[in-house]
Structure 1
């Protein structure tokens, strides 16, 4: 009996030990959402400033609801829409309130067109009587309430329509819309892709798809008309499952090719007349990246940008007198950034952001475009502009004042005084303010803290209540063994570059480890940021657990360190990014724990371009590279993005050719894996096909994979897991210790 008891103790001891063994991250868990964070979906502040709405999903039951919560108590006040109670609509995926919040547009059956644009079925739900009205039997785009809530404007088949919600009548207001020729009120492919404004914090995006705007009196609509007739077409085979493939054909202006011819129009609902806006300045080959009505119902603002994108004009157009006034001109030796920050005050003075003093800051101009004052100043960047509160005369914004890898939220008076730091924790803070600017919901995360949502005072920033955190995920991850992400800077090419490093588990400084570098490197991108994990980060932790050092450094051309650091790349897109990554690799190779014979690099999109060139041009330091969906020749990419940094290929042929990977295939000596989706409408498969052919003709061996019918994101079903397994195997094979 005593032996049996002893045996029991031994078993119990080993069971305890085994159950306490830390878990390891797996590829399957990463790509099936096991580490997904909780968030607040489609957050909207109600007009009363005391409540907010959230879109809640019940994924198991398959229904959605719009629920109203109190800022003060955080308790749910009521449910205003529940799809279970709507026979015509069992499920919806998005919503938009009318200005008076008596109605809401519900979206369902949405299907993507390009990155941001969608087609869908839309309904107007009347909150007062619970009635629901279909806006159109057909799938439409961008339905938008008039400010008085009595009408909805929308686009269908490249034309604009207005539905009167009182009479039920639908009026077509443009008639020349035609696929691949004329688009009314909806942006073309390149405008949607390149003039949408992405905020890197929490992936907020102002998507420039809707190119029409109601005025404040609901009696006029301004819209941009796109004539794509002369824009060259691009086609992609879609293989599907049928016997014969189909083709997707769309207009895509590559660098130096014809863009859409754009014009600005104003439709008057009272006389049902449309007039084209004529300016007192001749433009040739230009863009209209933003339109917005002022507080005056007859005064429209429009931003005109020259094709070189180094001159931006702000116009005020008077719809009543049909006159126009140039109120502001922005010029730059390199390029001018287009934003969505223009804000009109009651007196038609306006708030504007610009990096004209070397860093992105907030400015206040009078209604005639005369500078009143620069509101923010310093060697740091305003990264998000949140708005202006008339009651307290305060401007709210997010910035890098606490370091370029961090974000904090601030308030400041319109005169530039009385600045208050509203957030206190080091990491990434992003705010969603109540309509009356009395509260804000702060979304905080850091490299060690998953997203937390708190209610804070907009006056002081003081914490009022905690709303939601990811403590469950934190507890789950505490069972896993992972390394830390260590932030630092590395000095190369005369600059201190932001960098993070993940070392292997049980790191031993006397051992030699392979190094894998990750980067994106493109203008507008920041990869070294003190915020919570992306799916890629978990993959990096996985690779580190297998004995690899992972490093990421943001080189010249990336944002948030001033205009000079970002714009030095003008005319030589990719040149300095590649030089910086090569220099970082060489400097790290001198570390005693790095095996200089086993250094690799990988990246996606611009990062794929950079990793390709690093392997080719840095063949003395890089032994392998992976390029996913890379640009291989800047001549193949779109006009707006490429010309912003290079000019046209006709003007700057060497800037295009000298910095394109396809020009350097003869230098390949290491191992190269090339990956692309066949239905990539952004960076076309053409890039990989032409690069592959150049490598073949140069008699260079390489590995490659094409993912059928996958776009630039290469996802869907089992795709991401397959892709990352392929890359993991390649890294293990090429950077593994051959002596083992």
Structure 2
């Protein structure tokens, strides 16, 4: 359920889905496609050049000077469908992933090609289902996974060596992750070369005791088939995870001691710049996090630890960043209640708090060893701006000057960066800037889209705050229809997600199916209630242990607030949500006592007992210790409260949703049926949690038409 960066694979799949758009959503999809950006940015090692993906070509540009760009691939490349690519460290070779066969929502197998010396050659051809391939630091080897085992390919000799041989589906996984690590810890490549390329560390998952989930596949066949995979639900057995190191010269393998507790998480492994192995360790409750360093002689020591009464925010690749052989940066919130950067030493421990204040660092962009560049919410929780500061916390500089939302792609050594800026009124503008924030040149500015938006006077989000009956101040926005007349009353659709640490109200350009309603005379409204992110630890963690209690209160407060406004029709208020948002929309429909005329819940969680261990337990503890947190707010237990004479309910789900299983909707409908309730339902056969690969557009058009017909 965790939100993610928009990957190249996801972009390709989304384009495939939106190609089928029709009706009102077709116009939304067309406008979205006009928002310009740079795809597949990679900085070259010199920090002076970068590459991008343009169609099925990789093109090299200079940061400082405009030019046509240099193709990095021999032509023709018609057989390629580039999903991803990476350069070897000496940049004489390019490893290209072509095509994608999905495994789960984010993982896929692919075909690999090697571009070098003016030729393009398929590699890893003996592999049946290769994935997660990458170069060694010396560029001589390519490691990859195939059918749950780890392999190493010698690029010069063209030979493959098998590192593990016990991989088996639904049993043992080497070098890649199981389902729940992929979904919740956000990575699939579970191996790392040492800096000298002589060793490779990898994770070994034993999921033998993890309960089996069977998901029915139909696929247009005469006899449907069950797709079985290991999925640990809240409170159930997780994989046992081990850290192994293989000496690539001798072939010897060693299991690394990760402590006596096996019911824990190892969410990252890596090597320090001087070649010492480290790994992250997190307890099952996820409220104790440690970074363990392995010394060459076998000793281990904890170089960083963090503890929280509720939970430690989930770690990712930016949680710990090594500056050099001794110093490393940590991004954490437990010390001050806001997410900030801290400098540590392997030898000395804590050195300095690098950033401070009642705002949050949202991303660590890079460091040159003297300064660190980061994005933060210092001007507003709704916005992101780029700053740099010395590692001792002094000489802070704001490098971006507009009010809105920046994303940053840095060059090596932070000589330059590519900034993509937008705000609610302004689609993407992409610029090259130097490391001091000075604009160098503009790459794209979505001019055609800006002109169309201005010509059609498309409504823009209006941000505001409101105070609930309990006294909480919440951020919100409205999208008003064209020609808005404050003396008239308009139907209102609440759109929200509301999950822990999430954010829906932000000053960034976006367009989705809800915006089509503004063209039809509807107001679209959104608020981020308690438990959402970027307003400090206290605001976020207040929902701990009782998911769906305070969040529902806040959405109902928002609905009552809107109903009292002179421009809103109190008899025509609806609510929508997807995933956690679907859980919320459904809960609000059941507990709203008829305040909502319509509710749409897409892929909703209906009991947190059905959802995965990592996500659910970090926010709700284990069900063995907090049964009330799982049952007291389950929509299934409130089916009797649906006022189906006043609230039209639409449930939508894909049958191949490996994330929020179709089981959630099945059990919800069972409860509604037992209570004699009437509702509507839309089922998408063999579609996943995102309604891909085929129905991205169809589901959105369905929601538009349902809203127009019932609100």
If the length of structure 2 is used for normalisation, what is the TM-score? Answer: 0.93
For structure 1, the residue ranges without an aligned partner over 5 or more in a row are 1-23, 58-63, 197-207, 736-740
- 1:712 aligned partner: 689
Shift of 1:247: 2.0
Separation of aligned partners in 2, 1:315 and 1:568: 30
The answer to whether structure 1 residue 287 and structure 2 residue 287 are counterparts is no
Separation of aligned partners in 2, 1:452 and 1:261: 46
- 2:233 aligned partner: 254
- 1:500 aligned partner: 477
The answer to whether structure 1 residue 232 and structure 2 residue 211 are counterparts is yes
2:575–2:596 contact (8 Å) kept in structure 1:
yes
Separation of aligned partners in 2, 1:563 and 1:107: 40
Separation of aligned partners in 2, 1:618 and 1:31: 33
- CA deviation profile, 1:22-80 (whole Å, cap 9, x unmatched): xx9932222466644222111011011111111110xxxxxx11111011113134211
Shift of 1:345: 2.4
The structure 1 residue matched to 2:666, chosen from 689, 692, 705, is: 689
Please provide the CA RMSD for this pair: 1.6
Matches for 1:93-104 after TM superposition, within 5 Å: 93-104=83-94
The answer to whether structure 1 residue 598 and structure 2 residue 590 are counterparts is no
Separation of aligned partners in 2, 1:235 and 1:573: 26
1:231–1:252 contact (8 Å) kept in structure 2:
yes
| Equivalences, count | 682
The answer to whether structure 1 residue 169 and structure 2 residue 165 are counterparts is no
Q: Which moved more, 1:685-694 or 1:545-554?
A: 545-554
1:394–1:411 contact (8 Å) kept in structure 2:
yes
- 1:360 aligned partner: 339
Matches for 1:565-714 after TM superposition, within 5 Å: 565-669=539-643, 670-714=647-691
1:35–1:473 contact (8 Å) kept in structure 2:
no
1:503–1:544 contact (8 Å) kept in structure 2:
yes
For structure 2, the residue ranges without an aligned partner over 5 or more in a row are 1-21
The structure 2 residue matched to 1:322, chosen from 298, 302, 325, is: 298
Separation of aligned partners in 1, 2:34 and 2:577: 23
Shift of 1:134: 1.0
Separation of aligned partners in 2, 1:574 and 1:317: 42
1:520–1:527 contact (8 Å) kept in structure 2:
yes
Separation of aligned partners in 2, 1:498 and 1:119: 41
1:290–1:302 contact (8 Å) kept in structure 2:
yes
The answer to whether structure 1 residue 465 and structure 2 residue 457 are counterparts is no
Separation of aligned partners in 2, 1:305 and 1:182: 21
- 2:14 aligned partner: none
User: Helix, strand or coil for the counterpart of 1:725?
Assistant: helix
1:121–1:137 contact (8 Å) kept in structure 2:
no
Matches for 1:325-474 after TM superposition, within 5 Å: 325-337=301-313, 338-341=315-318, 342-356=320-334, 357-368=336-347, 370-390=349-369, 393-459=370-436, 461-474=437-450
The structure 2 residue matched to 1:278, chosen from 257, 262, 279, is: 257
1:328–1:369 contact (8 Å) kept in structure 2:
no
Separation of aligned partners in 2, 1:661 and 1:435: 49
- 1:79 aligned partner: 71
User: Helix, strand or coil for the counterpart of 2:540?
Assistant: helix
Separation of aligned partners in 2, 1:122 and 1:641: 33
User: Helix, strand or coil for the counterpart of 1:76?
Assistant: coil
Separation of aligned partners in 2, 1:618 and 1:77: 57
Separation of aligned partners in 1, 2:66 and 2:402: 22
- Provide closer, same or farther for how the CA distance between residues 270 and 291 of structure 1 changes in structure 2, counting only shifts above 3 A: same
- 2:277 aligned partner: 300
Separation of aligned partners in 1, 2:80 and 2:98: 9
1:25–1:480 contact (8 Å) kept in structure 2:
no
- 1:148 aligned partner: 138
Separation of aligned partners in 2, 1:33 and 1:82: 34
- 2:247 aligned partner: 268
Separation of aligned partners in 1, 2:466 and 2:450: 31
The structure 2 residue matched to 1:42, chosen from 37, 40, 43, is: 40
The structure 2 residue matched to 1:313, chosen from 275, 278, 290, is: 290
2:240–2:262 contact (8 Å) kept in structure 1:
no
Which one has a bigger Cα radius of gyration?
A: 1
- 2:10 aligned partner: none
Shift of 1:607: 0.4
Shift of 1:133: 4.8
If the length of structure 1 is used for normalisation, what is the TM-score? Answer: 0.90
Shift of 1:439: 1.1
Separation of aligned partners in 1, 2:80 and 2:576: 44
1:335–1:645 contact (8 Å) kept in structure 2:
yes
- 1:67 aligned partner: 59
The answer to whether structure 1 residue 549 and structure 2 residue 541 are counterparts is no
Shift of 1:366: 0.6
User: Helix, strand or coil for the counterpart of 1:559?
Assistant: coil
2:492–2:573 contact (8 Å) kept in structure 1:
yes
The answer to whether structure 1 residue 517 and structure 2 residue 494 are counterparts is yes
Separation of aligned partners in 2, 1:497 and 1:489: 5
